[in-house]
Amino acid sequence: MRQSLHRFLNAAREIFQKLTKNSRTVQLVIIFHFISIPFFIYHEWHLPIHYILSLVTLASLCSTILIYLTLYLIGIYVKNPFHPGFELLAGIIFIFSLWLSDVFQFRAGKVFFFICISFTLILRFLQMEAIVRILFVSFLLIGTSLVSFKALQSVEIVSSYLLFKNKFKFEEVDVNNWVVQDRNYWNEEIHLGFTLPEEFIFFKASDLSLENQTGVGQIAGIIGSSEQDPNRYPFIRMFYFPAYVPFEIEEANRDISEFLRIQVSKAEIEDLQEIVLEDKTILNLGSKYWTFFDLLRPRYAKTGFLLLENNRHDKILLHITENLEKDQVHEEGILSILKSLRFSD
């Protein structure tokens, strides 16, 4: 058995070397893709198969260019150790990849960066050549991996946006003209107004990144509780549908359910449970709610939607996510906003 396995491995090694013409660079690129492509597929498994194939292809092309560049720079560095130009470039790429991946937004990320840089500078000063080489090569490889993954995420955001947006074909209106008096908001274009409590922030559609615009219909804005993160709950995402678009409670239920299923597939939430909850806070066409456990912010929370109709028969979909309050339909801030909704100025 052992001899058969040994012969098989030798044969596979010979075939691999012939296919790559014994080029170490090509071999390393193939090995990199052998490891990364299954991870890319797993990360995008929640999307349709044609989206997965497109995303993985684009991410692989990006990572191929980056890994070739990285290996080229490593080759130069091996021949010229302690080259200040290479070390500066490696440091810049490492810092850029950490910044691009939002590592510096977290205290632990800043501590990790400080330890890495301090340790490297001390070893560089002591001229411990072998360890310093390993560290700078590691910086380049980490940077390459993070940038490749970020490229995949960016394309995924665009794909998710298009996946939902293309379902409803209608001419979008300018939803950014909000008239504000004190903390009272009114939008003449969609005939919707509300009063914003002190602890909440309103993000116009033009203030949102493409990632935060993902959802059904045309997003009209987000009422959030954090200036930095519109998705920190409690928050209300508002979507607009003109009267001629056939968007009813069944479509709302289907699309919000699909949105939540994708979040479960992405391992952002788990233990998604539909709950029976009749929402009479404001006159509406229908509602539905779920509880879930948030894996990104470890806690139980509640999410769901209210479908409203203004006096021109346009539909307004409110996608609400909030902290789970026992024996309450909504937490106090959300309840205040919903009760303040109006459809005439």
Give the pLDDT of residue 231: 82
The type of residue at 40 is: F
Contacts of 178 (CB under 8 A, 6+ apart): 185, 186, 187, 202, 204, 221
Give the pLDDT of residue 228: 80
The encoded tokens of residue 290 equal 């779920």
pLDDT at 338 over 90: yes
State which of 152-166, 207-221, 326-340 shows the largest mean pLDDT: 326-340
Residue 242: asked if its preceding bond is cis (omega within 30°), the reply is no
pLDDT in tens, 179-216: 999 899 999 999 999 999 999 999 998 888 877 777 77
Strand order in the sheet with 178-181: 178-181, 184-187, 192-195
Give the pLDDT of residue 189: 92
Rg (CA), the chain: 26
Instruction: Specify the pTM.
Output: 0.69
Contact 59, 152 (CB under 8 A): yes
Confidence of residue 125 (pLDDT cuts 50, 70, 90): confident
- Sign of the Cα torsion 284, 290, 293, 295 reads negative
Confidence of residue 1 (pLDDT cuts 50, 70, 90): low
Q: Work out the average pLDDT over 134-146.
A: 82
Q: Work out the average pLDDT over 215-237.
A: 87
The encoded tokens of residue 123 equal 């070893």
pLDDT in tens, 256-292: 888 888 788 777 888 889 888 878 888 888 999 999 9
pLDDT at 166 over 60: no
pLDDT in tens, 12-66: 667 666 666 667 777 777 877 788 788 778 767 766 777 778 778 877 887 788 7
pLDDT at 93 over 90: no
The type of residue at 309 is: E
Please tell me which residue, 162 or 339, carries the higher pLDDT value.
339
Please tell me which residue, 323 or 169, carries the higher pLDDT value.
323
Q: Which class is 178-340 in CATH?
A: alpha beta
The type of residue at 137 is: V
Give the pLDDT of residue 153: 73
Contacts of 136 (CB under 8 A, 6+ apart): 77, 86, 87, 90, 120
- Residue intervals in the chain for CATH 3.40.1000: 178-340
